[in-house]
Amino acid sequence: MKLVIAEPLGIDKQDLLGYVFSAMAADIEIVYYDSPPAGAPELAARCAEAEIVVIANTPLGAEVLRQCPRLRLISVAFTGFDHIDLELCEEMGVTVMNAAGYATAATAELTLGLALSLLRELPLCDQLSRGGQTRPAPGRELRGKLFGVIGSGSIGLRVAELARAFGCEVCAWSRNPKPVGYINYLSLPELLAAADIVSVHLPLNSNTRGLLDFSMLTLMRPEAVLINTARGAIVDNQALAMLLKSGRLAGAAIDVLDNEPPWPPDHPLFDAPHTLITPHIGFATREAMHTRAKLVFDNIGRWLAAQ
């Protein structure tokens, strides 16, 4: 059986292979690529003969899948499936497994870091300090703010826990609310209208794509800030930029846009005031990369054991 690790997974090759060999007893041919594929044709060439493919956040669509007749398992080194053609996988009889939970701590901690950076204007303070200037206008504290969490999966709940530790009140909206004593569940419009900080923690699917459109974003108070460390397409980023530029929102911190970075320099959010942009780093900590690799290959080991 041939296993293709189609792109690097953010850890040293020897550490990665250690996770492979600790998870699998079967006699498997392993092919490892230490650079991302240049595009779909190169990805298809890498995966064409594989029974098992490991992929991270590189899109794996029909163009590639149809060139992989032997494929039986995709182990996704990522939390979401939105970059995988799941319908075609089902049609082809290909099992798809993900690495759920590997980046919970990393993404939640980034979310609180972005909230602090927005409220205390840390990037501006850095620029002023380097330019020999004095401090900006006084910032704001997290303590006492109403922190709104959209989506109460594992990341959303960890964000709620951290926000509470900073002295925030916490409200949330979710289609599947988890009963937590200190979280006040509201409707989505109620949350947007009330929260000082709104943080997005939803998967991207047909129900959530464009969920925070212009009409929803305009419910937020002018003093509020938006944080998105989930998926870019959940938010109408054109509308968000317009609201920021018109002063109808106090700020935004965005780790994800509609596609993966690098992003075009003329993106409308790039010149919006009081806006932080990070290049999809929510998941990217050393600890998370090792947790991810272990999950990916443990998933493959369990799948092999069940065959």
Residues catalogued as catalytic: 231, 260, 280
β-pairing, 169-173 with 146-150?
parallel
Give me the helices (H) in the chain, please.
13-23, 40-47, 62-65, 86-92, 104-120, 122-130, 154-165, 188-194, 214-217, 237-245, 286-305
Tokens 């942009």 identify what position? 277
61, 55 contact by CB (below 8 A): no
**DSSP tally for the chain: helices H, then strands E:** 11, 12
Among candidate residues 43, 51, 8, the one with its CA nearest the CA of residue 26 = 51
- In angstroms, how far is CA 283 from the centroid of its own chain? 7
DSSP result, 92-134: HT-EEE--TTTTHHHHHHHHHHHHHHHHHTHHHHHHHHHTT--
CA-CA distance, 256 to 254, in Å (whole number)?
6
